[in-house]
Amino acid sequence: MKLPLSWLKDYVEVKESPQKLADSLLLTGTKVDSIETIDEDSVFEFEVTPNRADCLSAIGIAREIAAIYKRQLIIPAAFSETPKPQSQGKEVVFQVADRKLCPAYSIGVIDSVKVGPSPDWLAHRLEKSGIRSINNIVDITNYVMLETGQPMHAFDFTKITGRMNLRAAGAGEKIITLDGIERSMPQGAVVIEDAEKLIDLAGLMGGESSEIDQNTTTVVLHVPIYDPLAIRRTSQVLGLRTEASNRFEKQLDPSGHRYGFERAAFLLSTIAQGSLASEIKSVGYGRLEREIKLPASSIGETLGIQLSEGQIKEILASLEFATSLQGRQLKVIVPSFRTDVRKPIDIIEEIGRIYGYNKFPRTLPAGEIPSKDLPSEDFEREIRGFFGLLGLQEIYSSSLTSGEIIESAGYASEDCLRVANRLVVDYEFLRPTLMVGLLAAAKTNQENFNQFSLFELGKVFEKKEAADKLPSQPNKIAALFFNSNFAKSRGALEAVFRKLNIAGAKFTLSEESTLFTQPAANIYLGDVFLGKIGKIKPETSAKFDINLPAFGFELDCETLRSHSAPTYYQPIPKFPTVKENISLFLPEEVAFADVAGAVEKAAGKNYYSLQLLEDTQIERRRSILIGVEYYDPSHTLNKEKTGFIRGKILKELRAIGAQPRIAPEP
Amino acid sequence: MEKITEEALKEISEVKNQIDLERARLRYLGRKSGVLAKITSEIPKLPPSQRLGIGTKVRKARTQMETAFESATKAAKKVSAEVIDVTAPGIKIEAGSLHPLTKVVEEIKEIFHYLGFTWVDGPEVDTDLYNFQKLNMPPAHPARDVQQTYYLDKELLLRTHTSSMQVRYMETHKPPIRVLFPGRCYRRDMPDSTHLPSFYQVEGLLVDAQATMTDLLGSLEFFAKQFFGESTKIRVYGHHFPYTEPSIEVEVYYPRSGWLEILGAGMVHPAVLRNGHINPNRYRGWAFGMGPDRLAMLKYGIGDIRILYNNDLRFLNQF
- ipTM for this model: 0.87
Q: Determine the residue among A345, A431, A439, A483 to mutate to test chain B binding: the one whose Cβ has the most chain B Cβ atoms within 10 Å.
A: A345
A377/B119 touch (CB, cutoff 8 Å), yes or no: yes
The 3-class secondary structure across A103-167, one letter per residue, is CEEEEEEEECCCCCCCCHHHHHHHHHCCCCCCCHHHHHHHHHHHHHCCCCEEEEHHHCCCCEEEE
pLDDT at A665: 47
| Residue B26 C-alpha from the chain's centroid | 48
Beta bridge partners of B237: B249
Position A371 pLDDT exceeds 80 = no
- The nearest CA of chain A is from the CA of B219 a distance in Å of 6
Chain B partners of A250 at a C-beta cutoff of 8 Å? 142
Tell me: cis bond preceding A519? Omega within 30 of 0 counts.
Answer: yes
Identify the sign of the CA torsion A518, A524, A527, A530.
negative
Distance CA A602, CA A605 (A): 9
Eight-state DSSP code of residue B164: G
Task: Name the pairing type of β-strands A94-96 and A164-168.
Answer: parallel
**For A527-586, what is each residue's pLDDT tens digit?**
999 999 999 999 999 999 998 999 999 999 999 999 988 888 888 888 899 998 999 999
Flag the least confident range among A177-181, A371-375, A389-393, A594-598.
A371-375
Task: Give the DSSP per-residue string, B246-295.
Answer: EEEEEEEEETTTEEEEEEEEEEEPHHHHHHTT--TTT-EEEEEEE-HHHH
Phi and psi torsions of A49, nearest 5°: -70, 150
| Chain A interface includes B296 (CB < 8 A) | no
Q: Is residue A336 exposed (0-12), middle (13-18) or buried (19+ Cβ within 10 Å)?
A: middle
| Residue A370 at interface with chain B, using a CB cutoff of 8 Å | yes
Best interface-test mutation with A: which of B237, B260, B288 has the largest number of A CBs within 10 A? B237
In the predicted structure, residue A159 carries a pLDDT above the cut 70:
yes
Residue A615 per-residue DSSP state: E
- The chain A residue lying nearest B178, using CA atoms, is A370
Tell me whether residues A421 and B206 touch, CB distance under 8 A: no
Say whether domain A578-660 belongs to CATH 3.30.70.380.
yes
Q: How many CA atoms lie within 13 A of A351 on its CB side?
A: 28
Cβ proximity of A623 and A662 under 8 Å: no
> What is the rounded average pLDDT of the residues A111-132?
94
Element (H, E) at A168: strand A164-168
A-facing residues of B in 230-259 (CB < 8 A) are 235-240, 242, 245-248
Q: Given its phi and psi angles, is residue A618 left (phi above 0), alpha (psi -120 to 50 degrees) or beta?
A: beta
Query: Where are the CATH 3.30.56.10 domain residues in chain A?
Result: 2-69, 289-357
| SS3 state at A571 | coil
- Minimum-distance CB partner of A374 among B118, B152, B209: B118
Q: Is A289 in contact with A334 (CB distance < 8 Å)?
A: yes
d(CA A56, CA A68): 17
* Residue A666 confidence class, pLDDT cut points 50, 70, 90: very low
Residue B69 or A3, more confident? A3
B95 chain-A contacts, CB cut-off 8 A: 388, 391
Q: At what angle do helices A486-500 and A377-389 cross, to 10 degrees?
A: 130
Mean pLDDT of A438-467: 94
DSSP secondary structure letters along A184-209: EPPTT-EEEE-SSSEEEETTTEEBGG
Query: For residues A187 and A171, is the Cβ–Cβ distance under 8 A?
Result: yes
Ramachandran angles phi, psi of A304, nearest 5°: 85, 5
Do the Cβ atoms of A89 and A108 come closer than 8 Å? Answer: no
**Cα dihedral across residues A572, A577, A579, A585: positive or negative:** negative
- CA dist B268 to A355, B204, B247, B288, Å? 20, 11, 9, 9
Alpha-carbon distance of B211 to A195, in angstroms, equals 61
Are B142 and A448 a contacting pair at CB < 8 A?
no
Which residues in chain B have Cβ-Cβ distances shorter than 8 Å to A346?
245
- Whether the CB-CB separation of A298 and A343 falls below 8 Å is answered with no
Burial of A263 (0-12, 13-18, 19+ CB in 10 A): buried
Residue A579: beta bridge partners? A629
Q: Which of B190, B183, B178, B201 is nearest to B285 (CA)?
A: B178
Which stretches of A273-376 are DSSP H helices? 297-303, 309-318, 344-355
Do B153 and A420 meet the contact criterion of CB atoms below 8 Å apart? yes
% of chain A exceeding 70 in pLDDT: 96
Phi, psi of B166 (to 5 degrees): -55, -60
Query: If we measure between CA atoms, which residue out of A420, A464, A468 comes closest to residue B127?
Result: A468
Smallest Cβ distance to B143: which of A50, A444, A454?
A50
Q: Do B152 and A419 touch (CB under 8 A)?
A: yes
Q: In what order do the strands lie in the sheet with B234-241?
A: B118-119, B177-186, B198-208, B284-290, B258-268, B244-254, B234-241
Q: Alpha-carbon distance B218 to B212, whole Å?
A: 10
Mean pLDDT, chain A, integer: 91
Does the pLDDT at position A145 exceed 70?
A: yes
The class (CATH top level) of A289-357 is: alpha beta
- What is the count of residue pairs from A and B with beta carbons less than 8 Å apart? 249
- Is B140 in CB contact (< 8 Å) with chain A? yes
- Closest CA of chain B from A23, distance in Å: 10
pLDDT tens per residue, range A474-533: 999 999 999 999 999 999 999 999 989 998 899 998 888 898 998 999 999 989 999 999
C-alpha to C-alpha distance for A208 and B201, rounded to whole angstroms: 47
Q: pLDDT band at residue A287, thresholds of 50, 70 and 90?
A: low
CA distance A321 to A289: 9
* CATH T-level topology, domain A377-563: BirA Bifunctional Protein; domain 2 (3.30.930)
Cross-chain Cβ contact A399/B198 below 8 Å: yes
Q: What is the pLDDT of residues A406-438, one digit of tens each?
A: 999 999 999 999 999 999 999 999 999 999 999
pLDDT tens sequence for chain B (319 residues): 778 888 888 888 887 777 888 888 888 888 887 888 888 888 888 887 777 788 888 888 888 888 888 888 887 777 665 667 788 888 888 889 999 999 999 999 999 999 999 999 999 999 999 999 999 998 878 777 767 899 999 999 999 999 999 999 999 999 999 999 999 999 998 989 888 999 999 999 999 999 999 999 999 999 999 999 999 999 999 999 999 999 999 999 988 888 899 999 999 999 999 999 999 999 999 999 999 999 999 989 999 999 999 999 999 999 8
Please report the pLDDT score of residue A91 as a whole number: 85
Of the CA atoms within 13 Å of residue B123, those in its CB half-sphere come to 23
- A48-to-A61, A71, A81, B21, B250 alpha-carbon distances in Å: 10, 22, 33, 84, 17
HSE of A163 in the Cβ direction (CA atoms, 13 Å)?
8
pLDDT of residue B9: 82
Contact A603, A646 (CB under 8 A): no
Best mutation target among B101, B115, B170, B212 (most A Cβ atoms within 10 Å) is: B212
Residue type, B64: Q
Q: Is A357 on the interface with B (CB under 8 A)?
A: yes
C-alpha distances in Å from residue A51, one per residue of A45, A228, A258, A581: 18, 12, 22, 78
Sign of the CA dihedral with A574 first, then A575, A581, and A585 last: negative
- Judged by CB atoms closer than 8 Å, whether chains meet at B124 and A427 is answered as no
**In chain B, where are the structural domains located?**
2-83, 100-316
**Mutate: best of A27, A56, A297, A357, partner B, most B CBs <10 A:** A357
β-strand partners of A329: A295, A326
**A28 touching B (Cβ < 8 Å):** yes
Scored b (16 or more CB within 10 A) or e, A351-388 reads bbbbbbbeebebbebebeebeeeeebbebbbebbbbbb
d(CA A446, CA B144): 42
Q: Is A367 within 8 Å of B210 when comparing Cβ atoms?
A: yes
Question: Length of chain B in residues, anyone?
Answer: 319
- pLDDT band of residue A87 (cuts 50, 70, 90) is low
State whether B311 and A454 contact (CB < 8 Å): yes
Give A 81-110 residues with CB within 8 A of chain B: none
Give the max Cα distance, chain B.
120
B158 touches chain A (CB under 8 A): yes
User: Which of B99, B158, B242 lies at the smallest CB-CB distance from A419?
Assistant: B158
Among A345, A393, A475, select the one facing B313 at the smallest CB separation: A393
Cα distance from B80 to chain A (closest Cα, Å)?
A: 32
Tell whether A366 is within 8 A of chain B (Cβ): yes
Fold annotation for A94-283: Phenylalanyl-tRNA Synthetase; Chain B, domain 3 (3.50.40)
pLDDT given for residue A648 in this prediction: 92
Are A357 and B236 inside 8 Å of each other by CB?
A: yes
At residue B2, φ and ψ (nearest 5 deg) are: -60, -40
Q: What is the pTM for the complete model shown?
A: 0.85
CATH of domain B100-316: 3.30.930.10
Show Cβ contacts of residue B51 under 8 Å, excluding neighbours closer than 6 positions. Answer: B43
Task: Answer whether A560's CB lies under 8 Å from A545's CB.
Answer: no
Q: For the segment A246-269, what is each residue's pLDDT rounded down to a tens digit?
A: 999 999 999 899 999 999 999 999
Distances (CA, A) of A232 to A189, A397, A467, B50, B134: 9, 35, 36, 122, 21
Task: Return the number of other C-beta atoms located less than 10 Å from residue A389's C-beta.
Answer: 14
Mutate to test the interface with A, among B91, B93, B98 (most CBs of A within 10 A): B98
Taking the C-alpha atoms of residue B97 and residue B200, their distance in angstroms, rounded to an integer, is 19
> Residue B199's closest chain A neighbor by CA?
A398
| B270 backbone dihedrals φ, ψ, rounded to 5° | -50, -35
CA atoms within 13 Å, Cβ hemisphere of A311:
14
Residue B19, min C-alpha distance to chain A (Å): 29
Q: Considering the domain A2-69, what is its CATH architecture? A: 2-Layer Sandwich (3.30)
